[in-house]
Structure 1
Amino acid sequence: MTAFDRLKTLLDLFRHPGETHGKLRKKPKRQSAAAVFRGSGDKCELLLITSRDTGRWIVPKGWIEDGEDGAEAAVRETWEEAGLIGEVLPGGPVGRYRYIKQRTQRNDAVCEVDVYLLKLLEQRDLWPERDERRRKWFPVATAIGLVAEDGLKTVIRDAFQVLRAA
């Protein structure tokens, strides 16, 4: 993502709903994401995956399907996108952020993402999107530096503090 793209994304978040630019007028669409940590203390790592479109580093996330709540969607997305099996830690979402989902077939959309902490139970070598994404564990500070969305950076920092306090 170029500096221009980041600036455009940031400006889009502040676009007034009454403007004639109508592609971002509707209320935010809900998504769910997972922050999966392993290790502890200075050896704590966060799982990041690449997005399918641009290859940027993100956490597993996606749409909440009918009949699911946010926690269930986070667990499902983590399996589909990263091949990890985990369970949501109690306490609900650890944070929330917004971003602009750029879609070529339809108008762009503002998405509001609830992020859940997941406890890693198992990591598998075969998973649904293994040919479309890369997954990698990073030290938390490195992961924060690799993520483009400022809101997600803040959520990762907050999630790490919750883990350290537990």
Structure 2
Amino acid sequence: MTAFDRLRQLLDLFRTPDGGKGSRRAKPFRQAAAAVFRDIGEERELLLITSRDTGRWIVPKGWIEGGENGAEAALREAWEEAGVRGELASAAVAGEYRYIKQRSRRGNVLCTVEVYSINLTDEEERWPEQDERTRKWFTIPEAIGLVEEPGLREVIRDAMQLSAAA
């Protein structure tokens, strides 16, 4: 695939469903993410995990499954991907960002990620995806420096404010 083909493929994600004749864009896929915080003395930390494919640092996130709302999905993803449980700092979304999810078999899709601020209540030694990911706590400035998604960096700042206020 040439660079031009790759660019065209990415632009196709933003095209309107009727070929540009109307004003509606295709609706992005929805995911939920958990910005999990804990306090260690005077320091506030954020939990990051590695992605399965590239090993980059991210927050737990995934698809909102049938019958779930975004907050429930974020709490489930925190458990499955990072082995932590917590309480929502707020039922409101701390922030949103968009990214292009790369899927080799079914094609790339545009995703909107709703991020929920969660205060840690329990951290387990064993969890469903422990053999697939690394988890680690970072200070907020460290976490922001490690996260590559620009939109997620901004949301982390907002989520920290929500979490600290709870």
After superposition, where does 1:7-156 map in structure 2 within 5 Å? Answer: 12=10, 16-17=14-15, 26-39=26-39, 43-156=43-156
Change in 2 beyond 3 A, CA 1:125/1:28: same
* Structure with greater Cα Rg: 2
Change in 2 beyond 3 A, CA 1:30/1:13: farther
Change in 2 beyond 3 A, CA 1:164/1:87: closer
Where does residue 159 of structure 2 map in the other structure?
159
In 2, Cα distance between the equivalents of 1:16 and 1:81?
29
Equivalent AA in structure 2 for residue 39 of structure 1: D
Conserved? CA contact 1:38–1:45, under 8 Å: yes
Conserved? CA contact 1:41–1:164, under 8 Å: no
TM-score by length of 2: 0.83
Q: Which runs of 5+ in 2 are unaligned?
A: 1-5, 20-24
Q: Note the C-alpha offset of 1:63.
A: 0.2
Q: Note the C-alpha offset of 1:89.
A: 2.1
In 2, Cα distance between the equivalents of 1:58 and 1:131?
16
Q: Which runs of 5+ in 1 are unaligned?
A: 1-7
> Could you say what secondary structure the match of 1:71 adopts?
helix
Q: Greater helix percent: which structure?
A: 1
In 2, Cα distance between the equivalents of 1:44 and 1:13?
39
Identity of aligned residues (%): 59
Aligned residues: CA RMSD: 2.5
Equivalent AA in structure 1 for residue 131 of structure 2: D
Q: Note the C-alpha offset of 1:96.
A: 0.4
In 1, Cα distance between the equivalents of 2:74 and 2:80?
10
Equivalent AA in structure 2 for residue 64 of structure 1: I
Once the two structures are superposed, what CA deviation does each residue of 1:8-33 show, in whole Å capped at 9, x if it has no partner?
89xx589751598xxxx732100000
In 2, Cα distance between the equivalents of 1:97 and 1:119?
21
Q: Note the C-alpha offset of 1:161.
A: 2.5
TM-score by length of 1: 0.83
Change in 2 beyond 3 A, CA 1:89/1:164: closer
